[in-house]
Amino acid sequence: MKKLLSSEKTIWNFAGSKTGDGTSANSCYSWSSQPTPEGFMRSQAWGKLAATCVEVSGKKMTSGNDCSILAMEGEVNMKASHICGKQFIYSCTPTSSDDCVVAVIFLVEDWHRNSYGELVVYDNEEILKAVHPKPGRIVIFPASLEHVIKPPAIDLSRRLYALKFNLLVSDEKRQIQPALKGDNHVFRPDLWPSCKFLSKANSTSNGNEVESIDLKKFLTRNFTTADGYSIVVFDDLLPVRDLDALMLTVQSGGYNDMEADLYSADNVQWILGFEVNEFVQTSMWQLFSRIVTTVSGKEGYYPYDIGCNNIQKSDTTTIHRDCELHENEFTLLVYLNQNWTENQHGETVFFADMEGSEVIFALRPKYGRIAIFHGLIPHSARPPPFTFAGARFTFAVKMSPSKEIAEKKSLIVELDVLYEILDKLEGEEAINLRNIIQDILEGKVDREVVQKIMLKYEE
């Protein structure tokens, strides 16, 4: 059933992106997606849903245009993720309210009796009906009724997926509206994050400007571990225009639902990935390159992994290193939450060892703050408290000592994705992908071709 919201195809919008603190009047759920009704209406699932709605309505239709989609939304409901209580979906005015219904399809694969997550429908502030999630269960009720899907149990890491529709069951023709009422953005692949808002690098003006910056004036913390590894902090170093542009880039992007598995190092559930080739053409990278050169004492560092980490109150992050013991890498973080207070937590905590027995350094978020540290230092990002409805955002740039090493590391990351896809394939498809992976490992496929292969198998 979850194929209706395929994790590789669906792009998710974080409800708190526009406000920065997670508060939103447009959705009761932290994560939502607006699939196109036109695409869904070509599926077998739509035929069954439309027929069921007409049957439940008891109406006798005189034409084939008996059921149409006014709005649809995919939802991910996670423990402690609610930011409101009840909601209306859509107003049917001037159409008779009797013609409008809400349909909810539960896309859970395995849901137990103590997992919670009920759909609750209200009438005059009293509960009219509560429905437990089951795989493929469809619930249909009048659109005039308030309703909400409750969050899963607090000790449940599993996500509750649902697809919600507002339907018109009538002969009347009504224009399909691809998004819910409000200013929810319809995310499409071409709106994934790009660096178009950031200032472009310039070998003359921007380059000279970056070189003329006295980094020491912005250095606020400088810590060295017992092993001789550095943690260096800069405040107010990024130009406001570039910092705001970076936040705008994060806000305008859609996330893939790539739930962290048991082998995830940091257990970060939502990451907004950026293209390395685009970012290195910005003046921001020129500045970051100078920072890592200054801190490491070595020129040539190059990024291989760039992304924005979205960490929420229900997340459980873990202590990890960003590189292997034989590697000499650095990670640079930019904190992107404005007006962050001490009581909102979200610290980056550094440890003496992977056991986490001793904290050696901790750093709280501050808008525009830059922290750069050696990848071998064990660390963990702390989530915000349960009273906070939004997310903690950090822009992370992981760098290897040279472009050649960085490109090899980036290729390994992409191969990991292909291996995950391979586990789901069978027969000839699996053999073909296995051969492609082998060609990549032997260097027979260049990077551009690898990117095309990735796109093909993610579709």
pLDDT (tens place) for every residue of the chain, 459 residues total: 455 554 445 677 776 644 444 444 455 667 777 777 877 888 888 888 988 888 887 766 555 557 888 888 888 887 766 655 555 555 555 445 678 889 999 998 889 889 999 999 998 889 999 999 999 899 999 988 889 898 888 888 788 889 999 888 876 655 444 443 333 333 343 344 567 778 887 655 555 788 889 999 999 999 999 999 999 999 999 999 999 999 888 877 777 666 665 556 788 888 888 889 999 999 999 999 999 999 999 999 999 999 999 998 888 889 999 999 999 999 999 999 999 999 999 999 999 999 998 999 999 999 999 999 999 999 999 999 988 878 899 999 999 999 999 988 888 777 877 887 788 788 888 888 888 888 887 777 776 677 677 766 655
Beta bridge partners, 393, equal: 310
Burial class (CB in 10 A: 0-12, 13-18, 19+), 191: middle
CA atoms within 13 A on the CB side of 423: 5
pLDDT of residue 258: 62
Torsion over CA: 50, 52, 57, 59 (sign)? positive
How far apart CA 397 and CA 278 sit, in angstroms, is 13
Say whether 399 sits in a helix, a strand or coil.
strand
The closest of 347, 89, 69, 97 to 231, measured between CA atoms, is 347
pLDDT of residue 295: 97
pLDDT of residue 344: 93
Which CA distances in Å does 315 have to 175, 224, 250, 323?
40, 29, 19, 22
CB-CB neighbours of 20 under 10 Å? 19
> How is the chain split among helix, strand and coil, in percent rounded to 5?
25, 25, 50
For residue 310, is it left (φ>0), alpha (ψ between -120 and 50) or beta?
beta
DSSP 173-221: -----SS-SSS-----GGGS--STTSPBP-TTHHHHHHHT--GGGGEEE
Which amino acid is located at 447 in the chain? R
Q: What is the mean pLDDT of the chain?
A: 81
The closest of 39, 66, 36 to 174, measured between CA atoms, is 66
**Taking a C-beta distance cutoff of 8 angstroms, is the pair 87, 15 a contact?**
no
How far apart CA 349 and CA 351 sit, in angstroms, is 7
The closest of 137, 48, 132, 58 to 98, measured between CA atoms, is 58
**Taking a C-beta distance cutoff of 8 angstroms, is the pair 306, 399 a contact?**
no
Torsion over CA: 303, 305, 311, 317 (sign)? negative
DSSP character at residue 331? E
pLDDT of residue 83: 56
**Taking a C-beta distance cutoff of 8 angstroms, is the pair 391, 14 a contact?**
yes
The closest of 22, 14, 19 to 344, measured between CA atoms, is 22
Torsion over CA: 240, 243, 248, 251 (sign)? negative
pLDDT of residue 367: 96
**Taking a C-beta distance cutoff of 8 angstroms, is the pair 158, 152 a contact?**
yes
The closest of 108, 228, 100 to 159, measured between CA atoms, is 108
How far apart CA 297 and CA 224 sit, in angstroms, is 14
pLDDT of residue 74: 84
Structure-block tokens of residue 207: 């380059």
Strands annotated E in 68-179: 68-77, 100-106, 119-123, 126-131, 138-142, 146-149, 160-168
Phi, psi angle pair for 59, to nearest 5°: -85, 145
Say what the pTM is: 0.78
Say whether 232 sits in a helix, a strand or coil.
strand
pLDDT of residue 22: 41
The closest of 395, 266, 271, 264 to 319, measured between CA atoms, is 266
pLDDT of residue 329: 97
pLDDT of residue 260: 60
How far apart CA 265 and CA 272 sit, in angstroms, is 17
pLDDT of residue 441: 79
Q: What is the dihedral of CA 85, 86, 89, 94, to 10 degrees?
A: -140
Q: Is the preceding omega at residue 94 within 30 degrees of 0, hence cis? A: yes
